[in-house]
Amino acid sequence: MNFGRSFWLFESSFPILFLVVFLLVIGTFVYVIISGLVHFFKNKASPQLVVLARVVAKRTETGSSPGHTYYHGTSHYHRSHSHTFTRYFITFELEDKERIELQVTGRDYGLIAEEDKGRLTYQGTRFQGFDRI
């Protein structure tokens, strides 16, 4: 078997593959940062609205990141630094029957119940408060 030619193909294409993967990773980071900034400034430019609304649904979204195993010499240590998160969402129905779902804090999620009616304050997609009537 002649491995010289196949190794040469790998050796000549590796820098190109490395560059493509590197650019994809950097491009993903740039996209996430820019889209986050656009979302932030779009919310900031939106008017603050206060409307009558009814709570029609509540939901949560949970997730976690895995723990890590660290190696030091011949011994290894397992540290479970897994990070668990919960996001809270409430769907409001406005007077014109339009529905919007906003992310809220855990405290607000616990204080607001389905079928509550009140004044909803929000700016863009940012929840700012709900005063029960």
Q: What is the pLDDT of residue 72?
A: 57
Of 70, 77, 130, whose CA–CA distance to 105 is shortest?
A: 130
Q: What is the pLDDT of residue 12?
A: 74
What's the rounded Cα separation, in Å, for the pair 25 and 17?
12
What's the rounded Cα separation, in Å, for the pair 116 and 2?
75
**Candidates 3.40.50.720, 3.40.50.1000, 3.40.250.10, 2.40.50.660; CATH matching 47-133:** 2.40.50.660
Per-domain boundaries in the chain = 1-45, 47-133
Residue 109 clears pLDDT 80, i.e. is over it = yes
Percent of the chain with pLDDT over 90: 68
**pTM, two decimal places:** 0.70
Q: What is the pLDDT of residue 84?
A: 87
What's the rounded Cα separation, in Å, for the pair 90 and 102?
6
Q: 99 - beta bridge partners?
A: 93
